[in-house]
Amino acid sequence: MNRVVENFIRYIKIDTESDPDSTSCPSTAKQLDLARLLKQELINLGLSEVSLDKNGYVMATLPANTDQNIPVIGWVAHMDTSPDMSGANVNPQFVENYDGGDILLNQEDNIILSPHDFPDLKKYIGQTLITTDGKSLLGADDKAGIAEIMAAVEYLVNHPEIKHGTIKIGFTPDEEIGRGADLFDVEKFGADFAYTVDGGEIGELEYENFNAAGARIVVKGRSVHPGTAKNKMINAINIAMDIAGMLPPQQRPEHTDKREGFFHLAKFDGSIENATLFYIIREHDHEVFNWQKSLIQKAVDYANFKYGDGLVSLELKDQYYNMKEKILPVMHVVDTAKEALEDCGIEPKIIPVRGGTDGAMLSYKGLPCPNLFTGGHNAHGRFEFIPTNSMEKAVEVILKIIDLYSTKN
């Protein structure tokens, strides 16, 4: 088993699920279990300025080994896994020389990873895949990114004949709940620009993403026995359903793709007395994004007009913005990554992110930060898988980008 795969298997065994309902940073203490391991591994590799701060951010420096004037490049990945599904007791399965057919993940529950449902599997016939056992997510988002960065750093440490500038490493908590870059100290990090290694299939290179906001709508009702409820009961569930119906159904995630935005009802809790809706709002175009936010405000205002002033409240918060605006002035970071992909024999897939990465917020904090592939597929669920070849290629691309900046200066 090669180093990047060894790293990956070691990291996914550690449960790092984040918690959107927590107000601490990191949102779950168990993320620190991986953070402490990574800190020690970076120390063991001989890196300098290795730190783990109280908020769970790990940083380290691989000093330059040349006097050339080379930009300081950062490499960033996140430690947490999605709260959409458990990341505990991950039991990875290896499928060697994949034949293109169904993969039985769990015989007891008859859970099958099938190319009928996930056609991308057909791209990896003959390769080795790492899958789940059907009982948890895998954690390639983003422990594959961590494993790839660590493997690349170890390679540079073991091959000092490869000349490079100063390399900065950063591992963040809570990316999956939209807070990964909130307390990231860009000045301390000290990079001229960076790459998040947090994308999907092999070849992906992304420098534009959704603008994002979260909306929490709370409805207050009044419970009365239904037999005597006339002109007395206020059913919060019905009001919440009415609000949901005011938003355009064609702008739900299941009806959109590419650069089309959406309103996604991610969570609903309801009783007659109280109901809560949590929406995530996504859109690439900033003007349309502002329209979306105004529409959800109008829906709440109308519900208060219709059912009684003060029954419905709205908490609306921007989460991150489209990093394209911050990348365009330094497009060399994208052009160099594209060149590296091609030099490694990989077809670049330059696509917009239908989501967000730490790189979006970092770009707005002054650290331009496009996103590179990890090789993973079907993140956040039991059908997640990653080809080992894609992980190896990700390491190769990281090293090639570093080499290109060294040889161009």
Which residues are catalytic, by number?
A: 80, 175
Tell me the H-state helices in 228-318. 236-246, 286-307
Interaxial angle between packed helices 286-307 and 236-246, expressed in degrees from 0 to 180 and rounded to the nearest 10: 150
Integer Cα distance of 378 and 234 in angstroms: 41
CB 241 within 8 A of CB 385: no
Token pair for 2: 């090669």
What are the angstrom distances between the C-alpha of 195 and each of 72, 148, 170, 374, 397?
A: 12, 12, 10, 12, 11
Residues linked to residue 209 through DSSP beta bridges, in sequence order = 353
Q: Give the DSSP H or E segment for 105.
A: strand 103-106
Q: What share of the chain is helix, strand, coil (3-state, %, to 5)?
A: 35, 25, 40
Q: Could you tell me which of 335, 325, 368 has the C-alpha nearest to residue 211?
A: 325
